[in-house]
Amino acid sequence: MAYSSTGWSTVSASKAGNSVALYAYSSADAIGDINTAGYFNTLSDVLSVGDIIFVRSSTGGTQAVSICYVASNSGGVVDVTDGLTVTSTDSD
């Protein structure tokens, strides 16, 4: 699938321009699609290298949470890291 603005939210933007911004993104796409170079190209004028994106994705209906950051943003092409998957247990 493709990026959808309905799943995008700014958590904290740097007003001084010298700190990373935090974003949240929710999608039915798998993290393997989301972390592919070019997925966030429509946000190339918003995202800076190092900005952090909390991603809630889905694979076969199973939700997952990952923390990605912008690895590069050049010529309108945005690439984010593969992401650190946040895992948890619910033993009750």
21-67: pLDDT as tens digits: 999 999 999 999 999 999 999 999 999 999 999 999 987 778 899 99
Show me where the domains of the chain are located.
12-85
pTM higher than 0.75 for the full model? yes
The Cα angle at residue 59 between residues 53 and 62, in degrees rounded to 5: 95
SS3 string of the chain?
CCCCHHHEEEEECCCCCCCCCEEEEECCCCHHHHCCCCCCHHHCCCCCCCCEEEEEEEECCEEEEEEEEEEEEECCEEEECCCEEECCCCCC
12-85 under CATH 2.30.130, yes or no:
yes
**How far, rounded to the nearest angstrom, does the alpha carbon of residue 6 sit from its chain's CA centroid?**
13
